[in-house]
Amino acid sequence: MSTLPVVAAVDGSDDSLRALDWAADAARRRAAPLRVAHVRHHSAWAPPGAPVLVPLPPQDDPVLTDARARLAGAEEPPEIAYTGLDGAPGALLPELGAEAQLLVLGSRGRGGFASLLLGSNGLAAARDAECPVVIVPRPGRTVDVTLPTEPGPRVVVGLKTDGPDDAALDFAFTEAALRDARLQVLAAYPWPIQSWLAPGDLPITVYDQDAIEHETRTLADGFLAPHRERHPGVRVDAAPVPGDAAGLLVGASRDAELVVIGRHRRRLLAPARMLGSVTQAVLLHAAGPVAVVPPAPAED
């Protein structure tokens, strides 16, 4: 059975070339083929009679030529293929994930507004692709608050104890093993807890932070146990932490090899694919690469 490739989407921008570097390294670590894809934008709303782009052979595509030059001389993955496609990137990029184990993009491509932290194509791919999507941000992005942590390679993953995402946890453990990195698991719980009272009502419930923290730790340990068994060589640093999950993950992203976060699972009353507010906030503000992992298919 052939190994699915790591796909790097390039468009000639500096952002996409940095994503290409990340994807090539990921392919080497996985002993997987690398597929470099360039989607030349072609509007589906072109008027009748407008000139149609003629597909270019990969060797004649200047963007792919630049990608070849970028990879020349570096330690290469087992196999590299170059693909040129014509169409709308927001539609075609997610489709590339159907035959990939990983899809890697820069945070912004050519065009759009220079002030945007994440382009529309990156959002579409992270929301719609069937495989995990890694967004590589521009260097120099800063975060206002950082969590104290020991030096060394580190992969970060968020754990929602009231709805754990096994697909994201499995991806994070695998990535930490591939990188010989420590896995930092953040199990956030809200604190202080806000109570909404009607005028004249008196607060009755008293919340014990130590009890909430203990329960969060117990739940987290239970959810992590099977993943620890499958990856005994991964050092895990799991801690319940009070505060907003998005802010904590962004704070932990500084100097991290990768931040892993799950994508929203479809629900009966909300069947469309969504990223969720936490995922979007981390994509927009994290200081390092972010992997958005789709949920495992629901069992019947």
Residue 31 within a domain: yes
Residue 144 within a domain: no
- Which tens digits make up the pLDDT trace of 136-179? 998 878 777 667 778 899 999 999 888 788 999 999 999 999 99
Residue 298 within a domain: no
Answer with the one of 108, 136, 164 that is the final residue of a domain: 136
Answer with the one of 110, 136, 162 that is the final residue of a domain: 136
Q: Are residues 187 and 261 in the same domain?
A: yes
Tell me the two tokens of residue 191: 């604190």
What's the whole-number average pLDDT of the chain? 82
Q: Are residues 78 and 203 in the same domain?
A: no
Predicted pLDDT of residue 60: 75
Q: Are residues 115 and 222 in the same domain?
A: no
Residue 43 within a domain: yes
Residue 100: pLDDT band (50, 70, 90) is very high
Predicted pLDDT of residue 227: 96
Residue 272 within a domain: yes
Residue 200: pLDDT band (50, 70, 90) is low
Q: Among 6-10, 58-62, 216-220, 262-266, which range has the highest average pLDDT?
A: 6-10
Residue 148 within a domain: no
Q: Are residues 10 and 121 in the same domain?
A: yes
User: How many CA atoms within 13 Å lie on the side-chain side of 265?
Assistant: 13
Q: Are residues 122 and 244 in the same domain?
A: no
DSSP letter (8 states) at residue 125 = H
Give the residue numbers spanning the domain of 124: 6-136
The total domain count for the chain is 2
Predicted pLDDT of residue 120: 78
Residue 83 within a domain: yes
Answer with the one of 71, 103, 136 that is the final residue of a domain: 136
Predicted pLDDT of residue 45: 44
Q: Are residues 158 and 121 in the same domain?
A: no
Predicted pLDDT of residue 78: 76
Contacts of 281 (CB under 8 A, 6+ apart): 246, 247, 250
Task: Round to whole Å and give the CA distance between 45 and 23.
Answer: 32
User: How many CA atoms within 13 Å lie on the side-chain side of 4?
Assistant: 13
Q: Are residues 283 and 161 in the same domain?
A: yes
**DSSP per-residue codes, 13-71:** SHHHHHHHHHHHHHHHHHT--EEEEEEEE--TTPPTT---PPPPPGGG-HHHHHHHHHH
Assign residue 239 the CATH number of its domain: 3.40.50.12370
Assign residue 65 the CATH number of its domain: 3.40.50.620
The backbone torsions φ and ψ at residue 241, rounded to the nearest 5 degrees and listed phi first, read: -135, 135
- Which tens digits make up the pLDDT trace of 59-77? 678 999 999 999 987 777 7
Predicted pLDDT of residue 205: 55
- Enumerate the H helices of the chain as residue ranges: 14-30, 62-71, 89-96, 120-128, 166-179, 209-230, 245-252, 277-285
Residue 277: pLDDT band (50, 70, 90) is confident
Tell me the mean pLDDT in the region 246-257: 92
Task: Round to whole Å and give the CA distance between 287 and 40.
Answer: 29
Residue 101 predicted with pLDDT over 70 = yes
Q: Are residues 128 and 202 in the same domain?
A: no
Query: In this predicted structure, which of 93-102, 202-211, 220-229 has the lowest mean pLDDT?
Result: 202-211
Residue 95 predicted with pLDDT over 80 = yes
Q: Are residues 116 and 199 in the same domain?
A: no
Predicted pLDDT of residue 82: 93
Q: Are residues 61 and 186 in the same domain?
A: no
Tell me the two tokens of residue 142: 């800063």
Residue 256 within a domain: yes
- Which tens digits make up the pLDDT trace of 178-189? 999 999 999 988
The backbone torsions φ and ψ at residue 21, rounded to the nearest 5 degrees and listed phi first, read: -60, -45
Q: Are residues 159 and 270 in the same domain?
A: yes
Residue 293: pLDDT band (50, 70, 90) is very high
Going 200 to 189 to 128 to 55, the CA torsion angle's sign is positive
Q: Are residues 120 and 219 in the same domain?
A: no
What pTM was computed for the model? Answer: 0.84
